């Protein structure tokens, strides 16, 4: 620990999920003075979210996959001397010989902190990508990850009969959690046909653990009689004050709904998501280089040592492209070793390469097809915050000449509301015909009271 | 018996406390967020939108989407999916931007 407030940490890790935890404990064990900043009250991030102590959960592992990995990281954290700074929402990072991370802790001017460190590791994870459809703003329509997060942390479900829909491996994990916790899941609706995985036979063969993980979720779903509908999508959610059912349609290869294939499924909740988006604004705001992943998201570009293009800034886990908890742990450990100047075992590098290859294969297999926009209606809200319907966005593109998300935003306010485009960004870019996904740039990574901005420390 | 998340996790929570939602008393388990306590009561909406007056509640569940905003203890625009429920909290459905009191 720093002996005085003026002495910077050797390393500040932002995010206490799998990547950040692994990085912080490894760095501390290698002798670095390390701070671990996280917005949550407890370590674990979204993946290892778990019930608050007051809920007295004797078996948190039953809500999870790979809980023993988290248990081991938690034990190492407790023994490590890492300063775990919980409840710290980092809103900006100031680059320099010594980095300054500004965090807000709450609504009052005094509720804030500045953490100084020689190196910074960004392990802020990801949030879900959403593609709008008629009815997606109804109460009871929630994100697949959100349903899982509320289950893992609060032991609650959004309904009793929950359709799970969208695309990506998270759907199987979410559906298996929901049925295990007592919900009925009448269907898992996956937009792709899974054939994309077949192109990567070699990658699959070198990742038996990932196959086993998929098989375990599949077995849980089979056991509960959950039906998996491939090449299909929820094209409408029904209800007035809350969701009461969904219409599912088959999709062609481009994700265009096939007319005449619609069928209705009654439900009282819908958990939906179309993959994950790396949360990288703290780095992109400073100009860090990015890359486009095979599923069309923007991730930080890192070298084999997990270095970003900015001196002193490292990244690990989903910020480098979504690849799951196991890869995140490997990258966190690898980054910490490089930062500490310790040798990196060849086995660790190989493991990362295998898991990265799997992540890229998975991303390609679930890349949204361009035909999804066919299920929009003119009055379907695309931007949830500013309530901007598809027709207004199409008008901005077709009649006013907008060719990218930013111009659409200026003309329609789509993406200008509370979430700052985190929910509608990919959909708006797609409707604008913007072929190159671009990194979001946001001067403030999270809301911060004006009183804290007005009085710099 | 129906399986529940609490039974699955082997949860033996501390005693529930009470929060007020739109004048109605609802229980909250220690450590639950306000959004979780509302879901546990089957309440899915606690905000109406600025333009259409449409009902909204928790969507992303991780503090990213801002759909779960409510007025908590008189303070509007609180993300209920991040905010632990404290005994005696008063939660009110937030209408519009939540700053009607500032309207001129």
CATH number at residue A408: 1.10.10
Tell me what pLDDT residue B2 has: 66
- Is A182 an 8 Å CB contact of chain B? yes
Summarize the confidence of residues A195-205 as an average pLDDT: 86
Summarize the confidence of residues A327-331 as an average pLDDT: 98
Tell me what pLDDT residue B103 has: 65
| Nearest Cα residue in chain A from B85 | A154
CA distance A449 to A360: 39
| Inter-chain touch B12–A146, beta carbons under 8 Å | no
Tell me what pLDDT residue A374 has: 97
Q: Which of A344, A367, A401 is the last residue of a domain?
A: A344
Q: Is residue A44 domain-resident? A: yes
Summarize the confidence of residues A294-317 as an average pLDDT: 97
A1 pLDDT exceeds 70?
Answer: no
Within this chain, do residues A191 and A59 fall inside the same structural domain, yes or no?
Answer: no
Contact of A320 with A360, CB cutoff 8 Å: no
CA distance A411 to A409: 5
Chain A 281-340, residues with CB within 8 Å of chain B CB atoms? none
Contact of A130 with A274, CB cutoff 8 Å: yes
Separation in Å, CA of A438 to nearest CA in chain B:
19
Of A138, A150, A182, the CB nearest to B4: A182
Summarize the confidence of residues B30-44 as an average pLDDT: 97
| Inter-chain touch A154–B49, beta carbons under 8 Å | no
Return the structure tokens found at A287. Answer: 């100009």
Summarize the confidence of residues A138-148 as an average pLDDT: 98
Contacts of B6 in chain A (CB under 8 A): 55, 155
Q: Which residues form the domain of A396?
A: 376-431
Within this chain, do residues A208 and A302 fall inside the same structural domain, yes or no?
Answer: no
Separation in Å, CA of B103 to nearest CA in chain A:
19
A254 pLDDT exceeds 90?
Answer: yes
Summarize the confidence of residues A17-32 as an average pLDDT: 98
Model confidence pLDDT, tens digit, residues A386-424: 999 999 999 999 999 999 999 999 999 999 999 999 999
Nearest to A306 by CA among A290, A291, A292, A317: A317
Using CA atoms, how far residue A155 sits from A59, A235, A316, B30, in Å, is 12, 29, 29, 12
| Inter-chain touch B4–A181, beta carbons under 8 Å | yes
Within this chain, do residues A328 and A294 fall inside the same structural domain, yes or no?
Answer: yes
Within this chain, do residues A134 and A264 fall inside the same structural domain, yes or no?
Answer: yes
Contacts of B39 in chain A (CB under 8 A): 150, 154, 156-158
Chain A 32-91, residues with CB within 8 Å of chain B CB atoms? 39, 41, 46, 51-60, 62-63
Within this chain, do residues A287 and A203 fall inside the same structural domain, yes or no?
Answer: no
Within this chain, do residues A318 and A236 fall inside the same structural domain, yes or no?
Answer: no
Of B14, B50, B84, the CB nearest to A56: B14
Tell me what pLDDT residue B1 has: 52
| Inter-chain touch A149–B39, beta carbons under 8 Å | no
| Inter-chain touch B8–A149, beta carbons under 8 Å | no
Tell me what pLDDT residue B104 has: 54
B101 pLDDT exceeds 50?
Answer: yes
Of A54, A59, A107, the CB nearest to B30: A54
Average pLDDT, chain A: 94
Return the structure tokens found at B63. Answer: 């503090």
Summarize the confidence of residues A326-331 as an average pLDDT: 98
Within this chain, do residues A179 and A123 fall inside the same structural domain, yes or no?
Answer: no
Chain A 117-146, residues with CB within 8 Å of chain B CB atoms? 127-128, 137-143, 145-146
Tell me what pLDDT residue A218 has: 86
What is the H or E stretch that residue B5 is in?
A: helix B5-8
Eight-state DSSP code of residue A251? B
- CATH number of residue A256's parent domain: 3.50.50.60
Contact of A356 with A208, CB cutoff 8 Å: no
Count of domains observed in chain A: 3
Residues with Cβ within 8 Å of A206's Cβ and at least 6 positions away in sequence, in order, are: A354, A357, A358
CA distance A248 to A57: 37
Q: Is residue A110 domain-resident? A: yes
Q: What's the pLDDT band for A443 if we cut at 50, 70, 90?
A: confident
Reduced to 3 DSSP states, what percent helix, strand and coil does chain B have, rounded to the nearest 5? 15, 30, 55
Q: So where are chain B's domains?
A: 15-95
Q: Is residue A161 domain-resident? A: yes
A194 φ/ψ sector (left φ>0, alpha ψ -120 to 50, else beta):
left
Q: What's the pLDDT band for A343 if we cut at 50, 70, 90?
A: very high
CA distance A444 to A310: 19
CA of residue A418 relative to chain centroid, distance: 18
Architecture of domain B15-95 in this structure? Roll (3.10)
- Least confidently predicted of A28-32, A337-341, A403-407: A403-407
Separation in Å, CA of A377 to nearest CA in chain B:
17
| Nearest Cα residue in chain B from A420 | B65
Q: What's the pLDDT band for A449 if we cut at 50, 70, 90?
A: confident
Within this chain, do residues A95 and A36 fall inside the same structural domain, yes or no?
Answer: yes
Tell me what pLDDT residue A456 has: 67
Separation in Å, CA of A149 to nearest CA in chain B:
6
- Is A441 an 8 Å CB contact of chain B? no
Q: What's the pLDDT band for A2 if we cut at 50, 70, 90?
A: very low
Give the predicted TM-score (pTM) of the model.
0.96
Summarize the confidence of residues B50-79 as an average pLDDT: 96
Within this chain, do residues A88 and A161 fall inside the same structural domain, yes or no?
Answer: no
Contacts of B14 in chain A (CB under 8 A): 54-56
Q: Which of A274, A295, A313 is the last residue of a domain?
A: A274
Contacts of B8 in chain A (CB under 8 A): 59, 62-63, 180-182
| Inter-chain touch B32–A156, beta carbons under 8 Å | yes
Contact of A100 with A286, CB cutoff 8 Å: no
| Inter-chain touch B2–A182, beta carbons under 8 Å | yes
DSSP E strand stretches across A144-216? 162-167, 188-190
- Is A149 an 8 Å CB contact of chain B? yes
Q: What are phi and psi of A175, to 5 degrees?
A: -60, -40
Q: Is residue A226 domain-resident? A: yes
Give percent of chain A above pLDDT 90. Answer: 86
| Inter-chain touch B54–A155, beta carbons under 8 Å | no
| Nearest Cα residue in chain B from A445 | B64
| Inter-chain touch A241–B56, beta carbons under 8 Å | no
Q: Is residue A105 domain-resident? A: yes
Contacts of A57 in chain B (CB under 8 A): 9-11
| Inter-chain touch A54–B6, beta carbons under 8 Å | no
Separation in Å, CA of A378 to nearest CA in chain B:
15
Of A139, A150, A157, the CB nearest to B56: A139
Within this chain, do residues A148 and A82 fall inside the same structural domain, yes or no?
Answer: no
Q: What's the pLDDT band for A195 if we cut at 50, 70, 90?
A: confident
Q: Which of A274, A301, A325 is the last residue of a domain?
A: A274
Within this chain, do residues A256 and A180 fall inside the same structural domain, yes or no?
Answer: yes
Within this chain, do residues A211 and A327 fall inside the same structural domain, yes or no?
Answer: no
| Inter-chain touch A139–B55, beta carbons under 8 Å | yes
- Is A204 an 8 Å CB contact of chain B? no
A371 pLDDT exceeds 80?
Answer: yes
Residues with Cβ within 8 Å of A13's Cβ and at least 6 positions away in sequence, in order, are: A20, A23, A24, A27, A34, A35, A36, A37, A120, A121, A123
Q: What's the pLDDT band for A198 if we cut at 50, 70, 90?
A: confident
Tell me what pLDDT residue A148 has: 97
| Inter-chain touch B3–A153, beta carbons under 8 Å | no
Angle at A15 between CA A11 and CA A16, to 5 degrees: 95
């Amino acid at each position: 620990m720093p002996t005085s407030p003026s002495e910077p940490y050797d390393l500040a890790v932002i995010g206490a999920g799998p990547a950040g935890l692994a990085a912080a404990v490894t760095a501390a064990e290698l002798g670095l003075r390390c701070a671990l900043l996280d917005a949550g009250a407890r370590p674990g991030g979204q993946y290892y979210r778990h019930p608050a102590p007051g809920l007295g959960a004797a078996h948190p592992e039953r809500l999870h996959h790979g809980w023993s990995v988290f248990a081991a990281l938690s034990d190492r954290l407790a023994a490590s001397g890492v300063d775990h700074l919980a409840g710290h929402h980092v809103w900006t990072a100031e680059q320099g010989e010594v980095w300054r991370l500004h965090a807000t802790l709450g609504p009052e001017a005094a509720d804030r902190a500045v953490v100084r460190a020689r190196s910074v590791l960004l392990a802020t994870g990801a949030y879900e990508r959403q593609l709008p459809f008629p009815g997606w703003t109804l109460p009871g329509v929630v994100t697949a990850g959100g349903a899982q997060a509320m289950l893992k942390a609060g032991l609650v479900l959004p309904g009793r009969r929950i359709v799970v829909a969208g695309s990506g491996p998270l759907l199987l994990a979410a559906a298996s959690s929901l049925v295990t916790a007592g919900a009925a899941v009448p269907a898992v609706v996956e937009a792709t046909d899974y054939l994309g995985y077949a192109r990567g036979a070699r990658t699959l063969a070198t990742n038996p653990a990932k196959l086993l993980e998929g098989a375990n979720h599949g077995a849980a779903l089979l056991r509960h009689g959950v039906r998996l509908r491939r090449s299909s999508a929820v094209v409408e959610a029904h209800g007035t004050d809350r969701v009461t059912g969904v219409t599912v349609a088959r999709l062609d290869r481009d994700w265009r709904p096939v007319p005449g294939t619609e069928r209705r499924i009654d439900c009282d909740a819908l958990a939906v998501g179309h993959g994950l988006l790396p949360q990288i604004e703290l780095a992109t705001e400073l100009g860090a280089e990015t890359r486009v992943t095979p599923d069309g998201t923007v991730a930080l570009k890192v070298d084999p040592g997990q270095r970003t293009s900015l001196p002193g800034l490292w990244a690990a886990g989903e910020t480098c492209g979504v690849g799951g908890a196991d890869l995140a742990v490997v990258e966190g450990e690898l980054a910490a070793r490089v930062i500490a100047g310790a040798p990196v075992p060849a086995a660790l590098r190989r493991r990362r390469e295998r898991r990265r290859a799997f992540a890229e294969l998975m991303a390609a297999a679930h890349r949204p097809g361009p035909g999804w926009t066919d299920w929009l209606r003119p009055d379907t809200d695309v931007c949830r915050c500013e309530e901007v319907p598809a027709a207004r966005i199409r008008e901005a593109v077709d009649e006013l000449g907008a060719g990218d998300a930013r111009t659409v935003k200026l003309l329609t306010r789509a993406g200008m509301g509370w979430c700052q485009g985190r929910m509608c960004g990919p959909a708006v870019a797609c409707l604008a015909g913007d072929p190159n996904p671009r990194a979001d740039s946001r001067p403030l990574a999270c809301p911060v009271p004006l009183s804290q901005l007005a009085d710099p420390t | 018996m129906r399986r529940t998340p609490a039974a699955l996790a082997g949860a033996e929570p501390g005693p529930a406390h009470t929060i007020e939602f739109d004048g109605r008393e609802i229980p909250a388990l220690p450590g639950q967020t306000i959004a979780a306590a509302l879901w546990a009561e089957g309440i899915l909406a606690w905000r109406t939108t600025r333009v259409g007056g449409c009902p909204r509640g928790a969507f992303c569940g991780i503090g990213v989407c801002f759909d779960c905003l409510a007025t908590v203890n008189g303070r509007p625009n609180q993300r209920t999916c991040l905010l632990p429920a404290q005994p005696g909290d008063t939660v009110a459905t937030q209408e519009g931007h939540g700053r009607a009191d500032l309207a001129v």
